[in-house]
Structure 1
Amino acid sequence: MEHFIWNIDPVLFSFMGLTVHWYGALFAVAIASGYQVMKRIYISENLDVESLDNLLIYCVVGIIVGARLAHVLFYDPAYYFANPAKIIAIWEGGLASHGGGLGAILALYYYHRKVKMPFLFLLDRLAIATAIFGFFVRMANFVNSEILGVQTDVPWAIVFERVDLIPRHPAQLYEAIAYLLIFICLAVLFKVSQMKQRHGAIFGLFLVLVFSSRFVIEMVKVKQAVYADEWTFSAGQLLSIPFLLVGVVLLARAYLGKQQQS
C-alpha cells in the first residue's frame, strides 16, 4: 500500500540572516489566535480588554517555562540532570503540553489576583482560547515531524520521511482535530447555553474532553519518555489522569455543589 509521504522543509523562509521556522510561525499563530478569542469574549462581556496584554505575557511565560520543566522532569530527567546547561535550550525542542497547561493556570492565577476577577470565571474563558491554541501547536508538531505515531497500515498512515520510511499514525493530526472540535464545542456552549453561569463548568468540560482524548490518542503514539518503554501506560497517559479527575470534580461542583465566586 502506498502511503502519503511527508517531508516539508522545517524552515519557512530565510531573509538577510533571519530564519523563520514553520514551528515558530505556527506557535505565534497559536498565541495570536488564543489572544483574539479572549479579546472577543472580553468585548462581548464588557470586560477590560487592555488588561489582556498582561495576561498574554503571563501566559506565554507560564506556558514555556511550565512546558519545559515538565519535559525535563517527566520525559528525560537523566539526560538533563547530566547536562544541566541543556535545560534552557528550548530551541532544540522539548515542550510538554501538560506542564504548559499547568504553567498557564498558574499565570492566570497571578493575573486574577491583579485584576480581582473570579479565578474559575477566568479559567472558563481561557479554556476556549486554549483549545484553539492547542490546535495550532499540534499542527506545528505535524509540520516539524515530531510527536510521532506508531507504525500502522491504515489507509491514512503517513510516512515522515525526515525521520524514517515507516508508515505511522498521524497522531499530531488526531490531537489537532480533537482540539479543534473541542474549541467549537466550548465556543458554542459558551454562546448559546447557560453553562458559563456555573463557574468552573466550561473549564471542567475542557479538561475532561482534552485529557480523555489525549489518553486515547496516546495509545497510538510512540512513547516519548525514555524510561517508560516497558510501562503499560505512557507518561502522557499517566499525566493526563490528574487533569481528567480535576475536570470531573469541577463539573460535579458546578452542577451539584453550591456556586461560589472564587
Structure 2
Amino acid sequence: MFLDDLYHMLDPVAFSLGPLTVRWYGIAYLLGFICAGIVMWRTQRRWKLGLSVDDVFSIVIGVVFGIIIGARLFYVIFYIWGAGLSLSSPLEIFATWEGGMSFHGGLVGAVIGGSLVCRHYGISIPTICDLGVIGAPLGLFFGRCANFVNGELWGKETDLPWGVMFETGGGVYRHPSQLYEAVLEGLVIFAVLYVMSRRVPPRPQGTFMGTFLALYGVFRFLVEFVRVPDAQLGYLFGPITMGQLLSLPLVILGVVVLVGAHRLARPQTGYVDG
C-alpha cells in the first residue's frame, strides 16, 4: 500500500547537526510562514495597495508570534484544562516542543498579532486579514503533512486501500486523516481563494476572510468524523468532538462576514488615515 509504505519510510527528524535536531514539523511552520508572506506580497502588488516589503515582513512576524502563543494557549485551555487535566508546572504552558497546538487558537492569535502591527503602521486591518488568509492554507498544508510524518492525529480504522498502519495506532489500518485535511484545508481552500484574488479590482474587504472561515469550518467538521479525537477528551456529545465544536462557530462567523462584506462593499486598501 503506497501511503503505508511512504509513512514508514519517513523520519520525523529532518536532520541533526551535533546537539541540534531539526524536525519536519518545525520546517513545515517555517515554509508556511514564508509562503504566506510571499502570497501576501504578490497579491497586494497585484491589487496595487502600495505596501512595502518591510510592512509585509513586519506583519508576518506579528502573525508568527500570535499563532504560536494563541495556538498553544487554546490547546492548554480547551484540550488540557477542558479535559479536567492539569499541568505539572506553569512553565509547561510554553512547552510547544512537546506538541499540542490548536488551529483555532492560532487563528485568533494571528488576527491579534497582525492587527497590532497594522495599527502601529497605519495599515488596513480588514485588508491584511484578507491577504493573510489567502496564503494561510499553504501553511495548513505543510503542517498537516508534518502531522502525517509524525504519525499523530490519525483517523479511525478503515479497510480502504490507502489505509495506513501508524506506529501508535494499535496495529490496524487507519484513515490518513492528516492528508485529508492537508488536501481540503490546504490545497482546496488555497486554490479557491487564489482564483478569487486574481480579479482586479479586488473583491470587497472581508470576502476572503469570510470564505476562508466558512470553508475551513466545513472541511474540519467533516474530517472529524473519520479522525480519532484527542484521547484525553474523547467525544463530547454523541459523535461530536472538540474540533467540531470549535469549528461550527467558524462557519457561522464566516457566513456573517461574507454577508457583511457584500452589504458594505468596502474596497481593499493599504494604508488608512489616522
Once residues 247 and 163 of structure 1 are traced to their aligned partners in structure 2, the CA distance between those partners, rounded to angstroms, is: 34
Q: Please report how far the alpha carbon of residue 257 of structure 1 lies from its aligned counterpart in structure 2 after TM superposition.
A: 4.2
Question: Where in structure 1 are there 5+ consecutive unaligned residues?
Answer: none
Matched letter for residue 247 of structure 1? G
Q: Does residue 240 in structure 1 map to residue 244 in structure 2?
A: no
The Cα offsets for residues 163-194 of structure 1, whole Å up to 9 and x where unpaired, read as 43221111110111012111011011110365
Matched-pair contact (CA < 8 Å) for 1:149–1:169: yes
Once residues 83 and 225 of structure 1 are traced to their aligned partners in structure 2, the CA distance between those partners, rounded to angstroms, is: 21
Matched-pair contact (CA < 8 Å) for 1:62–1:104: yes
Number of equivalences? 261
Q: Which moved more, 1:17-26 or 1:210-219?
A: 17-26
Matched-pair contact (CA < 8 Å) for 2:32–2:138: yes
Instruction: Find 1:219's aligned residue among 221, 225, 244.
Output: 225
Indicate the residue corresponding to 2:21 in structure 1: 19
Q: What does 1:93-112 align with in structure 2 at a 5 Å threshold?
A: 93-112=99-118
Matched-pair contact (CA < 8 Å) for 2:204–2:265: no
C-alpha distance 43-3 of structure 1, shift in aligned 2 (>3 A):
closer
Once residues 259 and 115 of structure 1 are traced to their aligned partners in structure 2, the CA distance between those partners, rounded to angstroms, is: 20
Q: Please report how far the alpha carbon of residue 64 of structure 1 lies from its aligned counterpart in structure 2 after TM superposition.
A: 0.5
Matched-pair contact (CA < 8 Å) for 2:71–2:102: yes
| TM-score normalised by the chain length of structure 2 | 0.88
Q: Which moved more, 1:75-84 or 1:46-55?
A: 75-84
Matched-pair contact (CA < 8 Å) for 2:59–2:118: no
| TM-score normalised by the chain length of structure 1 | 0.92
**SS state of the match for residue 14, structure 2?**
strand
Once residues 102 and 70 of structure 1 are traced to their aligned partners in structure 2, the CA distance between those partners, rounded to angstroms, is: 9
Matched letter for residue 229 of structure 1? Y
**SS state of the match for residue 198, structure 2?**
helix
Instruction: Find 1:57's aligned residue among 53, 61, 65.
Output: 61
Q: Please report how far the alpha carbon of residue 115 of structure 1 lies from its aligned counterpart in structure 2 after TM superposition.
A: 2.2
Matched-pair contact (CA < 8 Å) for 2:39–2:134: yes
The Cα offsets for residues 108-154 of structure 1, whole Å up to 9 and x where unpaired, read as 21122122222211111111011111111111111111111111111
Indicate the residue corresponding to 1:152 in structure 2: 158
Runs of 4+ in 1 over 6 A off after TM superposition: none
Once residues 123 and 17 of structure 2 are traced to their aligned partners in structure 1, the CA distance between those partners, rounded to angstroms, is: 44
Question: Where in structure 2 are there 5+ consecutive unaligned residues?
Answer: none
Q: What does 1:65-144 align with in structure 2 at a 5 Å threshold?
A: 65-77=69-81, 78-144=84-150
Indicate the residue corresponding to 1:4 in structure 2: 4
C-alpha distance 3-133 of structure 1, shift in aligned 2 (>3 A):
closer
**SS state of the match for residue 51, structure 2?**
coil
C-alpha distance 170-110 of structure 1, shift in aligned 2 (>3 A):
same
| Sequence identity percentage | 36
